Structure 1
Amino acid sequence: MSTPIFRFENVYLEKENKTILENINLEIYPNEFFVILGENGSGKSSLLKLFNRLEINTKGKIFFKDRPIEEIPIHELRERVIMILQGATLFEGKVKNVLETYIEKLKLKYTPKQILDIMGLDYSNLEKKTENLSGGEGQLIAISLAIAKDPEVLLLDEITSALSITMGALVRKKMKELQKQGKTIICITHNMENAVEVGERGVFLKDGQIVKMGKIKELIECFGKDESQCTKR
């Protein structure tokens, strides 16, 4: 098996004397579609944020390609490991002008039309104001900008939950295409059908701990069960 792209060793996250994540041990491999599952309040978002240091672990070690994550300059890490949040928003203004601003700021080798091409959006959107885009259209443009930066790893935090069925399917298809192109994708989802469709392996969190790690279909069986019925493997 290849060297893990991420490795967590006995990782803890504590805030205000409260343990958010406890004794997290996991390995994620290059070109893997890894899913983080768990009920509300289980620590999924906190775990996802550790991958690009939006959260800083208080104990344990995190390695990115066998390099301690704290040794990697934060700007470099976040160029290589990009998070796309649910409901990501754009600057206000005409879409074409806003995209030109992002392209210059992010030093992307794209035109505004090429950004829209990434997710198959119509060029008529260039003449709209960002505040007049539907939530789904704005989300797809934000996803396109993240993809255009060509990261090694994409972190997805429930990005399809507010999208229509059609747009959600489009995003999942694109993410699978990116995986085939060599990207590593780590995502959170509450939608079990989506998890089975895109994911291969993952973890199930409960109260900040990994209760089970394995194939997605096995993890889904953990929902609504106590730890004795869903043992770690």
Structure 2
Amino acid sequence: MNTAVAPLLRVDALTKSFAEVQVLKGISFDLRKGETLALLGSSGSGKSTCLRCLNFLEKPGGGSVTLDGERIGQKHDRRGALRWMSDTELAPQRAEMAMVFQGFNLWPHLSVRDNVALGPIQAGRMPRAEAHALAKAMLDKVHLGHKADAYPERLSGGQQQRVAIARALAQRPKVILFDEPTSALDPELVGEVLGVIKELAEEGRSMILVTHEISFAREVADRVIFMDGGHIIEQGPPAEVIGRSQAARTRAFLRQTGGAGEGQA
């Protein structure tokens, strides 16, 4: 992990409400270049909402997100006041924070290769031949180069999710966001997807992972954040947050999920 002082991503006092329910209550954290950050917490704690606010799939209620020194989702108008960006203005920024969802969201009428190449062609204006070569390289990276001509319906859930990861990689993003990427998979298919994510972490990709796979977070993440009720309760290296957590709420969550470390059972 690169431990340079300046963070790649900075989240400051992020808030989000749906109607009268405040889901995020002033979330602040950083992500360094090359770091893998895992967000843990029970359902409803705000993890996925936080992730979706980072690239403005959900518009935050307040706070700021800065990627590589550039403010995401907002810009100054001619009078110097901040305004929200349009979807067109946001598109290049969103491409720099690629999202891998719980569902695979592949186009069923397109081959695997075309699914991966579509973004570079449409958003990046990349020539088709170059985009297809990039797609094949990204499919090789997730061990699916031999399935380039197949269609999604012919793939297992684990294979489809790996295609979705290849599609994210083809955007050449600065950060990859994973929103519970194994939650829709049968248990026997989880390992193949986690294996690819581990390989990306070992390459030094900058990633934020929302997951319920506690043991995987302990193994792969450089840092863990535990969220509850829209707040960050605890954050630090996995050995501290998972292995020797200081917060009672964290310890209770780990006992419930079977992720408690030594001395926390």
**Shared fold per TM-score greater than 0.5:** yes
**Structure 1 stretches (4+) deviating beyond 4 angstroms?**
none
The answer (yes or no) to whether the contact 1:33–1:184 under 8 Å persists in 2 is: yes
Alpha-carbon distance in structure 1 between the residues aligned to 2:206 and 2:113: 31
Q: Deviations over 1:148-202 (max 9, x none)?
A: 22111000111134262541342233222342xxx31111111111101110113
| TM-score, length basis structure 2 | 0.75
State the identity %: 27
Q: Which sections of structure 2, spanning at least 5 residues, go unmatched?
A: 76-84, 254-265
Superposed CA RMSD in Å reads 2.4
Which deviates more from structure 2 when the two are superposed, residues 9-18 or residues 183-192? 9-18
Q: 2:28 aligns with which of 18, 25, 29?
A: 25
Match of 2:103 in 1: 87
Query: Residue type of the partner of 1:88?
Result: F
Tell me how many residue pairs correspond in the alignment.
222
Alpha-carbon distance in structure 2 between the residues aligned to 1:33 and 1:145: 19
| TM-score, length basis structure 1 | 0.84
Match of 1:231 in 2: none
Mapping of 1:54-93 within 5 angstroms?
A: 54-69=57-72, 70-71=74-75, 73-93=89-109
Cα deviation for residue 30 of structure 1 reads 1.6
Q: 2:56 aligns with which of 42, 46, 53?
A: 53
Q: 1:158 aligns with which of 162, 180, 189?
A: 180
The answer (yes or no) to whether the contact 2:137–2:145 under 8 Å persists in 1 is: no
Residue 3 to residue 142, structure 1, CA distance change in 2 (3 Å)? same
The answer (yes or no) to whether the contact 1:87–1:135 under 8 Å persists in 2 is: no
Q: 2:141 aligns with which of 107, 112, 118?
A: 118
Match of 1:224 in 2: 252
Residue 17 to residue 176, structure 1, CA distance change in 2 (3 Å)? same
Cα deviation for residue 97 of structure 1 reads 6.7
Q: 2:13 aligns with which of 10, 29, 38?
A: 10
Cα deviation for residue 101 of structure 1 reads 6.1
Residue 126 to residue 32, structure 1, CA distance change in 2 (3 Å)? closer
SS of 2:17 mapped into structure 1: strand
Q: 1:187 aligns with which of 209, 212, 216?
A: 209
Structure 1 position 213 matched with structure 2 position 238: no
Match of 2:164 in 1: 142
Q: Deviations over 1:94-143 (max 9, x none)?
A: 626744862633536343543421211252x2443321211111111111
Residue 219 to residue 129, structure 1, CA distance change in 2 (3 Å)? same
SS of 1:117 mapped into structure 2: helix
Residue 66 to residue 128, structure 1, CA distance change in 2 (3 Å)? closer
Alpha-carbon distance in structure 2 between the residues aligned to 1:136 and 1:88: 9
Query: Residue type of the partner of 2:121?
Result: E
